[in-house]
Structure 1
């Protein structure tokens, strides 16, 4: 499910997501089911987005196959356990007995011949305790690997277990000092030494990982799931290029080299600027603003984009619009029969139209309207949530008959949701291919979005009030004064009906 769902009995929100077929044998289950531990809808959405980002990262790691960990990488993964161990024993620090700090020095030594020749528990209580501590370290390592979706070899698992042991040693020393009442003892993350230590080497200074930077960005910006997916994919692409996933190690030269490689690969300058550099720059900037990074290495790295008139997107001409709408009359699939018409006479986005529900088409003050609501699915902006009148061309062609013969719920049930639970994603592909099959090959023509361009053109051609046109298509007002008051449906219908119906000759 693309959104959190509320348990019918407890009222608690949950995440539920189907596991891709290729990962079921690895994960061992068909769906991810996780309680968000809140009954607040707004908080559930925030936690849901964060959990989805973590799941996507874990799935991407599983698809990447076996990962070999360096000692530095193992230390960075293990540091997450410091706060967990402290929190577990914070109230009763003296009761922490599972980890014996005095045995740490000899923790990983092999068992002696005497230990091997006697049943467990009959000799050397300290030796038995060391084995328990080793098992605890490996248990912690396995938990961290599972949480990140990492598959490692035995050597890497051992490195992580040793890193876990070091973190538990530090945390346990801090707890012991607190239990003794030593002054000035504070609990800090394993990024720094909890207490001065002479026996164990210090952990390397923590570097912000790409995954941590992404989580921070998701938490603060709350982007749509599709945006999260796309930007995570870009970060993974960049990580493959630089050969690591540590944001703290990045330099401007890394981005300049990446930009150069993309140029040499033939990628357009606009794609490099807007779809490659800009996302990573934005993610790192959030880390800088939250003092997780000293600076943004991608800040001043860009590429010059020369605007070419031939690349500008245009709207449908009268002839092209007739071609598409006439062809749709003979289509049996509802998505091909009605989505082009709805876009043509409302200026709505295809994604908005594809997620319409039967209950979103109703009468308001005696006027048939369509409501584009966040309840039906994600909307691009806050101004995208709106109610617009149904144009008479749609009424005359039987749109209401189609609506009334549809069961409650999505109008276009024949259009399956995409990976993010949105019908619009698949709708764009289906309609795009269909429009191109009609012979409209001009690359400047967007089979879906050009309807929005056309609607704005019609607004100017037939002298519609442009502030009302903006309200109907979901564009934010440009002037402060336009934000005052509301746009009555009756006023919208008055302006919309100025746009004449296209004359189609039925064959």
Structure 2
């Protein structure tokens, strides 16, 4: 885990916001001395820029902005890039083929061409660039200035110092002996190697790193030749640019859609989750311009997150939906050896809960008015679901999946068995599956007679399209019910139409002195401690607790009286 400071770091001699992140203890020694290059995102106040940070005990340096909001966005980019590097270090070295090594070197070639191609400068600069790079590659010099990812190395002074000032530069380089000393090669192209490996979240063994350094040096020489020609006015395409293949991991060809489909088949998430998350994956592919899961980087995820922020999505929605989806999907791909890194790990939106935005329960008067309206309804979902929610604290998605066969007596107590519908339904969590006694008010209202009349099957929806449908048909029941409740004047945005009844039940449980553990068991909330998982309640205990919840009654709603309760059924037949 990366430990971060709560505020942006500051320097007394600079007005720019700083970043200071402690390197995790398990990787700090292996990360020490490395250079982390990060593309800091643009904002309304600042353009995009690239910054390199040399790692020690901390990753620290400037965020290149005085704007606090821009600094927030950029700090997330640094955190994401650092998390990717640390993950790569933890996974250990990858084994690369010769083709992969050349492909990686091609990315450094394209980097140099993109950085300098429009304004190559002078031919002399690139002659010196090539001379130092070739001399480092052949072990002819003891050291060399680093080729940076952005900007140019200062080669003029060191070229004269190492090779002298007299004669042709090529002859002066050739006059030095070839050795096996690779220190200058590491100094010359080591930063480019760190840059390209970090892009893919890869670590390599020393032997493969040396092979990569040599290929990067050759790619830099090719770029140097092309840029020298451009400096002389020849901007013709470089034929050597075609020699670099695209980098492909062993997971090449695994698209985001394929990855999502495999995850879905194995994990079998709720239909609503499938619908929502598939849209998120589609939006990510559109934002990146491709569907190759192996090519998605931490920087891509940060940019995608920033785009969601710009659209006005709340921090909670981005963290709990967009980023939760991507973390889960890439975590699955990583665990199944389909990709080599999880680029979404560690990326999040800083969220602070604001006053006036929390969810609220219905007040007693609101519950009484809603139930009075429901008592007049003939539509089964409108008539019964709000009453069941108010008397059990259940989620609307749980009750809407109720089947007649699962309303039965247990130990003489009329109960409803809440579990995923037999035709492909799903619940939010494993602990949501439970049995809840019916409140006396439900029985007095004639719910058991209604169930008897249904016989078998779903109580609140027609037969679904079956397993394999993206979203279970009961989801529509809850959505339509919410719309109807809103049209009845329950339009407080802090009181979700159905879920406010769940909040109200928990609040009422406190007022009547119900134990938290009992209320949690009735509502399907997970036990707060491990010890709580050992606690089990019999139906009579739960029935007594449910019956203790008072149900507000409105005797005069909108100028009329609610429908009279249906008399209690004298005899209730047991269901298997």
Which of the five TM-score ranges fits, normalised by the shorter chain? 0.5 to 0.7
User: Which residue of 403, 407, 410 corresponds with 2:451?
Assistant: 403
Alignment of 1:36-75 (within 5 A): none
The number of equivalent residue pairs is 307
Q: Is the 8 A contact 2:440 2:547 kept in 1?
A: yes
- Distance across 2 between alignment mates of 1:369 and 1:293: 48
Shift of 1:372: 1.1
- Distance across 1 between alignment mates of 2:342 and 2:471: 34
Q: Is the 8 A contact 1:346 1:391 kept in 2?
A: yes
488-497 vs 358-367, greater mean Cα deviation: 358-367
Question: Cα deviations across residues 249-287 of structure 1 (Å, max 9, x unaligned)?
Answer: 122222222223222222222222222222112211222
Shift of 1:340: 0.4
Question: Cα deviations across residues 170-190 of structure 1 (Å, max 9, x unaligned)?
Answer: xxxxxxxxxxxxxxxxxxxxx
Shift of 1:496: 1.2
Alignment of 1:184-199 (within 5 A): none
- Distance across 1 between alignment mates of 2:518 and 2:545: 8
Q: Which runs of 5+ in 1 are unaligned?
A: 1-200
Shift in CA distance, 281/383, structure 1 to aligned 2, threshold 3 Å: closer
- Distance across 1 between alignment mates of 2:451 and 2:375: 16
Secondary structure of 1:345's aligned partner: helix
Alignment of 1:280-319 (within 5 A): 280-319=326-365
Secondary structure of 1:311's aligned partner: coil
TM-score normalised to structure 2 length? 0.50
- Distance across 2 between alignment mates of 1:458 and 1:331: 26
Shift of 1:416: 6.8
Q: Is the 8 A contact 1:371 1:387 kept in 2?
A: yes
Aligned residue number for residue 346 of structure 1: 392
- Distance across 1 between alignment mates of 2:540 and 2:309: 52
User: Which residue of 260, 281, 286 corresponds with 1:240?
Assistant: 286
- Distance across 2 between alignment mates of 1:264 and 1:241: 13
Shift of 1:409: 1.1
Q: Is the 8 A contact 2:368 2:551 kept in 1?
A: no
Q: Is the 8 A contact 1:392 1:497 kept in 2?
A: yes
Shift of 1:375: 4.9
- Distance across 2 between alignment mates of 1:363 and 1:395: 12
Question: Cα deviations across residues 153-201 of structure 1 (Å, max 9, x unaligned)?
Answer: xxxxxxxxxxxxxxxxxxxxxxxxxxxxxxxxxxxxxxxxxxxxxxxx9
TM-score normalised to structure 1 length? 0.57
Aligned residue number for residue 359 of structure 1: 405
- Distance across 1 between alignment mates of 2:471 and 2:319: 29
- Whichever of the two has the greater Rg, that structure is 2
Secondary structure of 2:290's aligned partner: coil
Q: Is the 8 A contact 1:350 1:424 kept in 2?
A: no
Aligned residue number for residue 255 of structure 2: 209
- Distance across 1 between alignment mates of 2:490 and 2:419: 32
Q: 2:369 matched to 1:323?
A: yes
Aligned residue number for residue 392 of structure 1: 440
Aligned residue number for residue 79 of structure 2: none
341-350 vs 379-388, greater mean Cα deviation: 379-388
Q: Is the 8 A contact 1:316 1:451 kept in 2?
A: yes
Q: 2:466 matched to 1:412?
A: no
Q: Is the 8 A contact 1:346 1:390 kept in 2?
A: yes
Secondary structure of 2:414's aligned partner: strand
Shift of 1:203: 9.8
Aligned residue number for residue 475 of structure 2: 425
- Distance across 1 between alignment mates of 2:271 and 2:311: 29
Aligned residue number for residue 530 of structure 2: 480
Shift of 1:415: 8.9
Shift in CA distance, 467/357, structure 1 to aligned 2, threshold 3 Å: same
Shift of 1:505: 0.7
Question: Cα deviations across residues 338-384 of structure 1 (Å, max 9, x unaligned)?
Answer: 01001100111111111111111111222111111335432222222
Q: 2:430 matched to 1:382?
A: yes
Secondary structure of 1:310's aligned partner: coil
Shift in CA distance, 275/374, structure 1 to aligned 2, threshold 3 Å: closer
